[in-house]
Chain A
């Protein structure tokens, strides 16, 4: 047997919609809604009490975060200055060749490279 639903506006099947509405009808008793609203507000009230308790901590946390950020910036500046000083020292160490280096080469008697032999020949009396 074929099913011939009574289709209403918006494509609704009127019988089906009526049956669904009876199944999913919200409570009609006003007292129920008053109680539910009271329960919702009681939960929100509890939430507000908790908020009041941790709100000062949250303010401290904000101050702490700002202080940590300032300390971080200061440490970074100090580190970058120290790094610049270290770089300058290292650079000076490289470019300032000791004045005794040629004499050390001249007195080195051990057999070495051809360059050393040439040097010894040039500076020998």
Chain B
């Protein structure tokens, strides 16, 4: 039991020395990329693309839009790399850029698909369980939320970002993120409540 607990802890909380070396490695990659080393930037892409996708997926309606936002985000980041200051956290800086790209894509899509709102919260592309009642109801519940509330609840409850980080990414005050989260949770609980009470 104790050994299992230690292993669990080791998996989730990196040792300080490991974290330090990872940060140093990341800083070296950033400096190299700032000097035009494209392989270094490719390594940064590999390191950060999953988290960047998670941010984009929380904001956009579909997997495809999230993919586009990630690509746009990395492209913007590459263009703006010389303006990145080493004392900043690269992840937070990149997430803001990706979130902006995702918000832009969301705005463009809303204008384009104004008459097809029922498809606005599509299930992930590779999910075969479209008929699963819980997911269907959850998708319905998410549709009932505003885009911002949806983004906030996914970024917080699924991805584990803090209210402050979410506020920074979405360009809203921390208190607004907190309030959005509360309302989104309440709305989804109402939607799924009777389903869960049947269990």
Contact = CB atoms under 8 A, between A and B. Distances in A.
A99 interface: no
Contacts of B45: 37, 40-41
Given A19-B134, A23-B123, A23-B139, A13 B185 contact: yes
A40 B157 CA distance: 28
Contacts, number: 90
A82 interface: no
Nearest to B46: A37
A41 B196 contact: no
Given A16-B185, A19-B192, A44-B38, A26 B54 contact: yes
A11 B57 CA distance: 23
Interface residues of B, number: 40
A44 B74 contact: yes
Given A20-B157, A36-B70, A41-B42, A3 B135 contact: no
A24 interface: yes
Given A26-B57, A33-B49, A44 B138 contact: no
Contact of B49 (A40, A44, A45): A40
A63 to B, nearest CB: 21
B67 A36 contact: yes
B190 to A, nearest CB: 7
Q: Chain A's interface: helix, strand, loop or mixed, by majority?
A: helix
A19 B138 contact: yes
B194 A1 contact: yes
A47 B138 contact: no
A1 B192 contact: no
Contact of B138 (A3, A20, A27, A39): A20
Contacts of A85: none
Contacts of B70: 36, 40
A20 B158 contact: yes
B189 A5 contact: yes
9 contacts: A3-B190, A11-B185, A20-B158, A24-B158, A27-B126, A36-B67, A44-B75, A45-B38, A48-B38
Interface of B: 38, 41-42, 45-46, 49-50, 53-54, 57-58, 67, 70-71, 74-75, 78-79, 123-124, 126-127, 134-135, 138-139, 142, 153-154, 157-158, 185, 188-190, 192-194, 196-197
